[in-house]
Amino acid sequence: MTSNRRISRAWLLPCLWLLAGCAVNPVTGERHLQFYDEEWEKEIGAGYYEPMRQQQGGDFMLDPDLVEYVQSVGDRLAGYARRQDTLDFEFHVINDSTPNAWALPGGKISINRGLLTQLQSEAELAAVLGHEIVHADAAHSARQQSAGMLTQVGAVAGMILIGSQADSSAGKAAAVLVPSLGAQLLTQKYSRDAELEADEYGMRYMAESGYDPNGAVELQETFVRLSEGRNQNWMTGLFASHPPSRERVEQNQQTARSLPAGGEQGRNRYQQKTAYLRRVEPAYAAYDRALKAAADDDLATARKELDTALAIEPREAVFHAMDGDLKRLDGNSSAALDAYNTSVNLNPGYFYNRLRRGESRLAAGQRAPARDDLSQSVNLLPTALGHYLLGNLDRDAGNIAAARKHYEKASASDSEVGRKAQQELARLEHGENPARYVSTAPYADNSGEIYCLLGNQSQVELMEIRVTASLVDDQGTPRTLSRTLYSTLGGGEQVSMRMDERTANPSTIRSRLSCSVDSAKAAQSQSPRS
């Protein structure tokens, strides 16, 4: 009887666990598996929204009226979301040419500048935003994470490395540290059912808010046409997570027929609101070509294209940041710092401008202003370079505990900067725990000369390695010997340290001699270039 009860309870627990994971889709009313509740959605969305916008290129700043317009369309649609009273919907325009839009849990939605230039009407804009609103409203991300949790528990933990377009303006990408969950939410592919659900109910929200749902049909037709043209820029943007298909066009057509006819298209209004963006689009196209040229180390072409961009729109901060990058590569550090000053003055809230100015200020010996810029940059978006440079500042100021924390964060990056941070961590730890890095072994040669063998297990060159040896001599008397190796010992190298003692019984020395490392220093060398 007891055994049967145990078996029943063993089955009961996972059943209760699965029942606890059942939730009602607030949009469709259907039940589905979901372990993450609404508080999780809101917390994740609020926590990742700012850093993910920073990583994607930062907010578009030059046309506040356009941003306000996009937000007003989003707010109008969100007013018909089934969870309008509980989710905190927000809408931002990202300063990036890639045609893309995305939603984080909790209603945090962004659309790229590059997608706005491809749309033709306010109804098409409403179709994009309505689709993303449904992804948030129907908790698609929470459902996706819940499904993954069954097969890959813990897969959303840890750190990964993401490349940022704006962070590669000189072809030398600085590592951006973003928690993997944020990256996963941004790049995840929704299921076919979730995509069709977002299409259908996004169109319903459009109709309920007074828009012509046929705008969603036109949008999907445009997407299919562009995807068939194999435009790689598109395929790595919106289509990576929202793949278009003829099936979706036909499904949207069917949905449109089921909804009330009419509604706003807003073509003229949309053209007016995006007039400035279309006028300066050639500037961003030139900037994108400059980015590509710089990544290919064709700096002459990069300079020519960037000058074109600056001539069209001199108020764009990222153009001036790249101007600083190119001038720094030319060896003109003073002019580079001036360019970075301009970029920060134009947009002080973008991490890259602060990061590069902080780096230049540090190179110029302006340590306090550099610390301020670098601290603000990692607060906006953690980067390996920002934490590495802050670690250097704290190390030089004697704040070893603070330096270690920065180096540990930077070392999570699988990059050159991350490896430099690992080396600096090792340098800090050699003095505190030298035995961790220097292995020892007793040895006597055939002539009876006694040695301590030392092996440097780190990649950092060491010096002033102090060794204490405990020896029982040939007469059975315990003795303590101390010696210091003043020459350098390179990473991975081994050396025999003479202890100035001899024995008549070399074969027994391993049982009579033990060696330990008391202290070691990292060899004084130039700090790695940041």
Q: Residue 287's pLDDT is what?
A: 97
Per-residue pLDDT, averaged over 174-188, amounts to 55
User: Using one digit for the tens of pLDDT, what is the confidence trace for 29-46?
Assistant: 565 545 556 787 888 888
The region of weakest confidence among 74-83, 213-222, 356-365, 456-465 is: 456-465
pLDDT at 23: 57
The model's confidence at residue 171, banded by pLDDT at 50, 70 and 90, is very low
| pLDDT greater than 80 at residue 69 | yes
- Sequential DSSP letters for 168-202: GTTS-PPPEEEEHHHHHHHHPPPPHHHHHHHHHHH
Neighbours of 421 (CB within 10 A): 27
What's the average model confidence in pLDDT over 7-28?
Answer: 46
> CATH 2.60.40 residue ranges in the chain?
434-522
**CA 330, CA 97: separation in Å to the nearest integer?**
27
- The more confident residue out of 341 and 29 is 341
Alpha helix segments (H runs only) across 433-529: 509-512
Between residues 55 and 236, the one the model is more confident about: 55
Q: Could you report the per-residue pLDDT of 432-448, keeping only the tens digit for each?
A: 777 778 899 999 999 99
**CATH code assigned to 434-522:** 2.60.40
Contact between 62 and 113 (Cβ < 8 Å): no
Location of each CATH 1.25.40.10 domain in the chain: 286-432
- pLDDT value of residue 45: 84
Neighbours of 4 (CB within 10 A): 8
pLDDT tops 60 at residue 16 = no
pLDDT at 237: 54
**What whole-number distance in Å separates Cα of residue 135 and Cα of residue 53?**
18
Q: How far apart are CA 530 and CA 514, in angstroms?
A: 42
Q: For residue 512, what are its two tokens? A: 């009579």
Average pLDDT of the residues of the chain: 83
- Rounded Cα distance between 403 and 381, Å, is 18
Q: What is the pLDDT of residues 289-323, one digit of tens each?
A: 999 999 999 999 999 999 999 999 999 999 999 99
CA angle, 84 then 274 then 164, to 5°: 75
Integer angstrom CA distances of residue 420 from 19, 60, 388, 441, 453: 49, 34, 8, 30, 28
Entry pTM:
0.77
Place of tokens 């003829």: 246
CA distance 385 to 161: 12
CA separation for the pair 309, 283 (Å, rounded): 4
pLDDT for 39: 82
CATH superfamily, region 286-432: Tetratricopeptide repeat domain (1.25.40.10)
Give the integer Cα–Cα distance in Å for 279 and 117: 10
Task: Please report the pLDDT score of residue 155 as a whole number.
Answer: 26
Lookup: tokens for 7: 């078996």
Q: Which of 416, 530, 412 is nearest to 161 (CA)?
A: 412
pLDDT at 4 (0 to 100)? 39
Q: Can you give the pLDDT at residue 156?
A: 26
pLDDT at 194: 80
pLDDT for 60 equals: 98
CB atoms within 10 A of CB 134: 27
- Distance from CA of residue 15 to its chain's centroid? 38
Q: Which pLDDT belongs to residue 515?
A: 95
Supply the pLDDT for residue 32: 53
Contacts (Cβ under 8 Å, ≥6 apart) of 51: 178, 182, 380, 381, 382
